[in-house]
Amino acid sequence: MPNILEIVQPDDWHIHFREGDMLEMVTNYSSRINNRCVAMPNTKVPITDSNKAILYKNKINKASKDKFEPLIPCYLTESLDINDFRSGIQNKYFFGAKLYPSNATTNSKYGVRQISNIYNLFEILEEENSTLLIHGEKVSDKIDIFDREKYFIDDELQIIRKKFPLLKIVLEHVSTAYGVKYIKQNKNIAGTITPHHMLLTKRDVFISDKIDPHHFCMPVVKDESDLIELRNAACFDNTKFFLGTDSAPHPIEEKKSNANSKPGIFSAPCSIELYTQIFDQENALNNLEVFSSINGANFYNFSHNDKKIKLEKKDWIVPEFSVYKNIKVKNFYANKKINWKVIN
C-alpha cells in the first residue's frame, strides 16, 4: 500500500461547534479537512427557528478562512412555530431536523418528551423530502444506559417508520450491533459512525471504581462485539453508513468531576486521521473515501466535493489539549500515536 493516500474531500455529517471562542476553534479544525459539516443545534439556547439557524450559519462562516458549508438542522421541540418550521425547511435555512429525546444528552432538556406530539413536523419533513436526524436513545429509569439505543429502535423508531415510510432518517452515532443490523435491514434509513465508537468499549469508560470523563459520551460506548460490527459496517458494508464524528468539546473544567462530567468526546483535531488508521487496521483503506466523502453526499443528494485531501502514513502524537484564547479542551486520543496525518 502506498504511503500517500488521496481522497475526495470529506464531509462531517455530525459535529458540535458550540458558540463564541469554542466555535472559532472548532471551525479552524473542521474547515481544515471538511467541505460540509452538519452543525448540531443543541447550543445553550437551541436552534429552534429559521432566524437562529441563519445567524448560527453566519457565525460559523465568519469564523472559517476556507470555503466551508455549515448545515444546520432544526432542534425539534413540542412547541415549534409550524409555519416557520415549514418555510425554514423549504428555504433550506434548516438542514432537516434533529430529534433529541428530552434529557438524553447535553442540552437536550428542551427536547421531545412525547414523540407523537411532533408527528405534524415529521409530516412536513416527509412531504419536503427532507431528513430526520435522530439521537436514538430512549431515556427511562427502567432502562439500563447500555440498552437505550435498542429500546429506542424497538419502541419509537419502529413506530415512526411505520407511520412515515418515506421519511428519510439518519440514526446518528450508531453504537450497537443491534442498530447496525436495523439500518441494514430497513429502507430510507442510514447511520453515521464516530471514531470513538470504533475505538473504545465500556471498559475504557468504567474503570474499576472510576469513570473516565474523557471517554464518556452519549450514547455510551458499548461492548467489543458492538465495536466489531461498527467497524465492519463502516469499512466493508458501505452505502448506508457514513462519517459523522460527533466531536463534542467541553471545556476542561466541565470534564473534571466524574459525577457532573458532561458527555462528549472532542476528536476534531484528529478525526480523519483516526478513521484512516481504523480503515488501515481493517485492511480497508480502499473503502475510506466512500465512507468519508461519498455515501453521505449520495444519501443527502449532494454532489461530491471537487477538492481532494492527502494523507501520509507517518507517526505523530496527538497533543493532550487544544488551547484557544481562554478555552482549554482535552483532545480525544491525547498523547497517543496515530500513524496517518493529513498533509497539504
Q: Is 247 in the site for ligand DOR (CB under 6 A)?
A: no
What CA–CA distance (Å, rounded) separates 240 from 244? 13
Place of cell 473534571: 256
If the CB atoms of residues 10 and 264 are measured against ligand DOR, the closer one turns out to be 264
Total residues at the site for ligand DOR (CB under 6 A)?
12
Of the candidate spans 78-86, 111-119, 262-270, 285-293, the one that interacts with ligand DOR by CB under 6 A turns out to be: 262-270
Report how far apart, in Å, the C-alpha atoms of 104 and of each of 111, 113, 125, 171, 218 are.
8, 10, 22, 14, 8
* Radius of gyration, CA atoms only, the chain: 19
Span interacting with ligand DOR, options 185-193, 226-234, 260-268, 293-301, rule CB under 6 A: 260-268
Query: Does the footprint of ligand DOR cover residue 218 (CB under 6 A)?
Result: yes
Whether 144 is a known active-site residue: answer: no
Closest CB to ligand DOR among residues 149, 289: 149
Q: Identify the residue among 153, 217, 233, 329 touching ligand DOR (CB under 6 A).
A: 217
User: Between residue 28 and residue 67, which ones bind ligand DOR under the rule CB under 6 A?
Assistant: 42
133: helix, strand or coil:
strand
Instruction: Give residue number: closest CB to Zn ion.
Output: 246
Q: Which three cell numbers, joined as nine digits, stand for 229?
A: 460490527
Nearest residue to 170 (alpha-carbon basis) of 302, 296, 272, 289: 296
Among 106, 175, 194, 322, binds ligand DOR (CB under 6 A): 106
Which residue type, as a one-letter code, is found at position 183?
I
State which of positions 72-91 bind Zn ion (CB under 5 A): none
Contact flag: residue 246 with Zn ion (CB under 5 A): yes
Q: Does 251 bind ligand DOR (CB under 6 A)?
A: no
DSSP string, 7-21: EEPP-EEEE---SHH
> What is the DSSP code string of 187-206?
TTEEEEE-SGGGT--GGGTE
> Out of 49, 246, 306, 315, which one is annotated catalytic?
246
Catalytic site positions: 246
